[in-house]
Every structure is written in C-alpha cells, then in structure tokens.
A and B are shown apart, each in its own frame.
Chain A
Amino acid sequence: MQAYQADIAKLESTDTQVFGLSVDSVPANREFAKQIGITFPLLSDFKRTVVKDYGVFNEEQGFGNRATFVIDKEGIIRHIDEGNVAIDPSTAIETCNVLNRKKASQ
C-alpha cells in the first residue's frame, strides 16, 4: 500500500482512481490508513464477496490474497498482478499510461 501511496500522483495523472481493498472493517482500515499515511480510499469487503468474485479469496486463511487489477473506462480488466509482484505498482502505472495514450489517439 505504501508503494501505491508513493506513486499516487503518477497514477492520478493518468486519469485513474486508486482503491485499496481488504476484508477488514472500515474502522480497521481507517486506523491502518492513518498509521501509514494512505490518502486514497480503502474499500472494506467485510462480507468477502468481492474477493471471491475476483478469485483472490484464500479459503484456508479466510482473507484476500495480494493482487492488483487495472480496469479501463469500459470496465474491462487490462492488467493483473498477483502475489508479491502486486506490491510494486510500476506495471499498473505503465498500463494506465498505455490506456491513456490509446484514449488520446482515438
């Protein structure tokens, strides 16, 4: 999350909304955001429906695996990072840049 925070300006400049998402409650996420200085919204998937829809729910441990999805303006998934690579936002940023360039040239 800190890595995304560090690159938030880069992401927002590509006409992109960034969300964090976990299965924690809203108050737990607020505390987390405050402690590590997150300014983008953290979504609370308390019922675990979204992590299941996105196929990143870890049944054994009861929480979401780490993953990043980049979704374009048509609601189509354009990039997926899973596991520890998802900590690094650089490929997500690059995808957003490409999406924007595509849009600009249309």
Chain B
Amino acid sequence: MYTRSFLSVVLLAAVSIVALAQQKPPVKTHLKVGDPAPDFTLRATDGKTYKLSDFNAKKNVVLAIYVLAFTGG
C-alpha cells in the first residue's frame, strides 16, 4: 500500500516534468520539414501580387511570418 502511493507520487512527478518540458509557444504548426508548402496568392508592399508556386523551379523562398507590424524583431 505504502509502496503503491509512493510509486504514484513518483509517476505524477515524472508526468509533470514531461509536461513542463513540452511547454512551447502557444501555437505549433502542423507542418513538417518535407511537407509541400501550402500555396498562396497575396498582395505585397511593393504593389505586386505574389503567388508562391510561381517560384517553383526558380527560387527558394524564405517566408518570415511576424506577429504584427510595429512590434519589433
């Protein structure tokens, strides 16, 4: 009996540690390296409209998503 409750305390502690270690930013993308990038067509600051798939076979694309303008970083 005593052993069992001791074990459950140990188990609880272990689970808590794992849960803490897994705390990450609030949103985690479902996309993985190796996945096809979802296509998009969006307007940009230079007045042009860009379609991601137009860059296929031409250029690599770095897409830097930022929170909001005027937040720095």
Chain A contact residues, CB within 8 Å of chain B:
1-4, 11, 14-24, 26, 28-33, 35, 38, 41-45, 49-51, 53-60, 63-80, 82-83, 86-87, 89, 92, 96, 99-100
Contacts and interface: CB of A to CB of B under 8 A. Distances in A.
Interface residues of B, number: 44
Contact of A64 (B32, B56, B66): B66
Interface centre among B29, B33, B66 (most CB of A within 10 A): B66
Nearest to A51: B65
B62 A75 contact: no
Nearest to A3: B73
B48 A41 contact: yes
B68 A22 contact: yes
Interface centre among A21, A31, A35, A63 (most CB of B within 10 A): A21
Per CB-CB distance, the 10 closest pairs between chain A and chain B, nearest first, are A55-B29, A32-B69, A41-B44, A53-B38, A43-B42, A83-B25, A16-B60, A71-B37, A71-B61, A55-B30
Contacts of B45: 26, 29-30, 33, 38, 41-42, 44
A4 B63 CA distance: 11
A38 B59 CA distance: 20
